[in-house]
């Protein structure tokens, strides 16, 4: 039976020659479609997006596309297209001025020679309500938007996206040095790799690198996984770890997915032992962190006038209430507990100054941000407040962006994620805080 041809889709008008040559070398067909077109053509694009042969999409949305997204004429076509786009691996580049609603004319920079399309895409003004509507629509459908400022950024990021797609990257995780439970997460990922290879018979390659500030872990597969496939495997693995305390049941689960009885028995024995060890290590690390933070606070405020009134046993309880407890599964290890300085741990009566100081100490200690300055810490606080479902990924992006030893393409990806977050959340963020965060991001690197 003849193998189906892989297809890649480019959406929009931007330099594609280098990217197309990269796909040719991998024997991938490609097509280019322009969203600066009729609703009927948008329906045709949607049909391509629904094709089982499509492996990925790189797109660039200009002003004219934004106007169409927010128009009544394109309402049905927009929702259909964005819904289909969200279900395939993709990245959509949008100039940050467009996302931000900045309609500064470009006519003194470019000569369009009467080209109507070029005028519409670069000069036509977009009403604020249309910009907000288009931004909301993209967010609602989970479209992966990357804000860019320079064409060089777009090319580097698009090239990196295609390379990861060709190599069947399952996921890439940046683990900051010093983050709580980071060693345990690395060990869990080793077990997850064995689960995929031994139990699920997948061919998985683990790669990555270390820097003085953190560690990057990458998983690659011989076959293409969609996003739901990776999430499903993680959830199934997590459920298996939960039942390892019941060897007979865990063994039946393994046998149910094709593992022979003797191998299943041995895997359950080893996994049960490793899970028990991990739980002990997590418990002990948590206790050590609580003690470290309390001792540091005692040393720092020993000469302050409020010292005599401090009930240190209560402070210890406050710190403990702020630090994540033992996680239940692999997904939990990848997350940190979200807390607020206004949550003072029940009815413990502690000076507000102490609460604020404890909050700062805990935040830095468990997140591995001890080396961050106030601007980076302020950005992380904005992410905690407005990041919603992307909070974990965005905080990791702050770490990766600040890591001078991380790979350029990945630092640039982190930078663009953070810029996109700020632009989407601008109306919810106080202007001074927005300016500080934006300046910090721009100061980290440039092309």
User: Strands (DSSP E) along 21-109, which ranges?
Assistant: 29-33, 54-61, 90-95
DSSP string, 86-97: TTS-EEEEEEHH
Name the band, by pLDDT with cuts 50, 70 and 90, for residue 112.
very low
Segment 141-181, tens digit of pLDDT = 989 888 888 888 899 999 999 999 889 898 888 888 877 78
The more confident residue out of 228 and 286 is: 286
The hierarchical CATH code for the domain 7-166 is: 3.40.50
**CA atoms of 29 and 37, how far apart (whole Å):** 23
The more confident residue out of 349 and 146 is: 146
Q: What angle do CA 207, 208, 209 make, to 5 degrees?
A: 140
Say if residues 136 and 60 touch (Cβ distance below 8 Å): no
What pLDDT does residue 323 have?
72
DSSP string, 356-379: HHHHHHHHHHHHT-TT--HHHHHH
The pLDDT of 320-346, averaged and rounded, is 50
DSSP 8-class letter at 411: H
**Domain residue extents for the chain:** 7-166, 169-278, 372-447
Segment 45-78, tens digit of pLDDT = 999 999 999 999 999 999 889 989 989 999 999 9
DSSP 8-class letter at 70: T
The helix/strand/coil state of 216 is strand
Say if residues 70 and 131 touch (Cβ distance below 8 Å): yes
User: Does residue 401 have a pLDDT over 80?
Assistant: yes
The pLDDT of 110-129, averaged and rounded, is 55
Dihedral, 115, 116, 119, 122 alpha carbons, nearest 10: -100
Q: Phi first, then psi: give them for residue 224, nearest 5 degrees.
A: -85, 125
Instruction: Report which of 391, 373, 386 is spatially closest to residue 439, judged by C-alpha positions.
Output: 373
Segment 407-438, tens digit of pLDDT = 988 999 999 889 888 887 888 888 888 888 98
Q: What does the mean pLDDT of the chain come to?
A: 80
Name the band, by pLDDT with cuts 50, 70 and 90, for residue 338.
very low
Give the residues across from 70 on adjacent strands.
Answer: none
The pLDDT of 321-329, averaged and rounded, is 62
For the chain, how far is it from start to end, CA to CA, in angstroms? 47
Q: Which two tokens stand for residue 56?
A: 């990925």
Query: How many CB atoms are closer than 10 A to CB 309?
Result: 9
Segment 4-47, tens digit of pLDDT = 688 999 999 888 888 999 898 888 899 999 999 999 999 999 99
**CA atoms of 128 and 135, how far apart (whole Å):** 11
What pLDDT does residue 129 have?
85
Q: Which two tokens stand for residue 267?
A: 């895997």
User: Strands (DSSP E) along 12-117, which ranges?
Assistant: 29-33, 54-61, 90-95
Residues in the chain: 447
């Amino acid at each position: 039976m003849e193998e189906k041809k892989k297809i890649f889709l480019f959406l929009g008008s931007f330099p594609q020659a280098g990217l197309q040559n990269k796909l040719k070398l991998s024997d991938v067909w490609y097509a280019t479609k322009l969203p600066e077109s009729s609703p009927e053509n948008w329906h045709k694009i949607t049909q391509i997006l629904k094709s089982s042969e499509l492996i990925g999409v790189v797109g660039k949305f200009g002003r004219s596309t934004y106007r169409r997204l927010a128009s009544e004429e394109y309402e049905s076509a927009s929702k259909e297209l964005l819904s289909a786009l969200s279900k395939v691996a993709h990245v959509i580049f949008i100039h940050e001025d467009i996302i931000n609603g900045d309609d500064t004319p470009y006519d003194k920079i470019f000569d369009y020679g009467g080209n109507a399309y070029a005028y519409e895409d670069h000069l036509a003004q977009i009403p604020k309500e249309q910009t907000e509507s288009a931004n909301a629509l993209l967010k609602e459908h989970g479209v992966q938007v990357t804000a860019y400022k320079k064409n060089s950024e777009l090319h580097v990021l698009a090239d990196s996206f295609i390379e990861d797609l060709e190599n069947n990257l399952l996921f890439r995780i940046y683990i900051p040095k010093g983050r709580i439970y980071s060693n345990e997460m690395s060990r869990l990922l080793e077990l997850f790799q064995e689960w995929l290879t031994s139990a699920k018979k997948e061919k998985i390659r683990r790669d990555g690198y270390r820097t003085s500030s953190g560690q990057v872990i990458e998983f690659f597969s011989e076959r293409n996984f969609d996003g739901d496939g990776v999430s499903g495997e993680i959830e199934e693995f997590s459920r298996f770890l939960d039942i390892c305390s019941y060897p007979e049941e865990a063994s039946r689960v393994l046998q149910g997915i094709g593992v022979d009885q003797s191998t299943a028995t041995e895997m359950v024995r080893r996994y049960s032992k490793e899970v028990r060890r991990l739980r002990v290590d997590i418990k002990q690390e948590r206790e050590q962190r609580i003690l470290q933070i309390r001792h540091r606070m005692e040393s720092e405020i020993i000469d302050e006038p409020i010292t005599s009134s401090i009930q240190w046993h209560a402070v210890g309880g406050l710190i403990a209430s702020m630090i994540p407890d033992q996680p239940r599964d692999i997904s939990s290890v990848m997350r940190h507990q979200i807390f607020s300085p206004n949550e003072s741990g029940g009815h413990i009566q502690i000076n507000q100054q102490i609460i604020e100081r404890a909050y700062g100490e805990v935040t830095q200690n468990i997140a591995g941000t001890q080396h961050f300055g106030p601007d980076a810490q302020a950005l992380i606080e904005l992410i905690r407040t407005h990041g919603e479902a992307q909070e974990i990924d965005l905080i990791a992006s702050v770490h990766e962006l600040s890591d001078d030893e991380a790979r350029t393409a990945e630092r640039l990806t982190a930078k663009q994620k953070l810029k996109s977050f700020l632009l989407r959340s601008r109306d919810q963020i106080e202007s001074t805080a927005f300016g500080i965060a934006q300046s910090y991001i721009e100061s980290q690197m440039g092309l």
